[in-house]
């Protein structure tokens, strides 16, 4: 599986690798960070709790929004104070503000 990763940088920083994809983001904004491994695993950093847990939909609360993960056979593999790891066949991600 191919792992997609975006490098987050501040607006005034120069890119360290010109071929890498980059997004400009204020790191103090409190937005969640999502890291996906294909369409089989997603890690959501910045979570404050699980709102819904079903095999086809898991909703994670964060400071600024709710992240809704849709798919088949979804399970929460790991949960900590700020991270949630979801595995299964992911078909969609919605951001609810």
Q: Please state the domain extents for the chain.
A: 29-96
**Chain segment 15-40, per-residue pLDDT in tens:** 555 444 444 445 556 789 999 999 99
pLDDT at position 31 is 84
Question: Which CATH code of 3.30.70.260, 2.60.40.2000, 1.25.50.10, 3.40.718.10 fits the domain covering 29-96?
Answer: 2.60.40.2000
Model pLDDT, residue 3 = 47
Contacts of residue 7, Cβ cutoff 8 Å, sequence gap at least 6: 15, 16, 17, 20, 21, 22, 23
Confidence of residue 63 (pLDDT cuts 50, 70, 90): confident
The overall average pLDDT reported for the chain is: 80
- Lowest-confidence segment of 5-9, 73-77, 92-96 by average pLDDT: 5-9
């Amino acid at each position: 599986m191919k792992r997609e990763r975006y490098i987050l940088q501040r607006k005034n920083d120069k890119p360290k690798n010109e071929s890498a994809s980059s997004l400009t983001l204020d790191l103090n904004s409190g937005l969640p960070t999502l890291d996906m491994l294909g369409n089989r695993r997603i890690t959501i950093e910045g979570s404050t709790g699980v709102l819904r847990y079903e095999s086809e939909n898991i909703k994670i609360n964060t400071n600024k929004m709710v992240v809704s993960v849709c798919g088949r056979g979804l399970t929460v593999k790991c949960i900590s104070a700020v991270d949630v790891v979801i595995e299964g066949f992911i078909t969609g991600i919605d951001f609810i503000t």
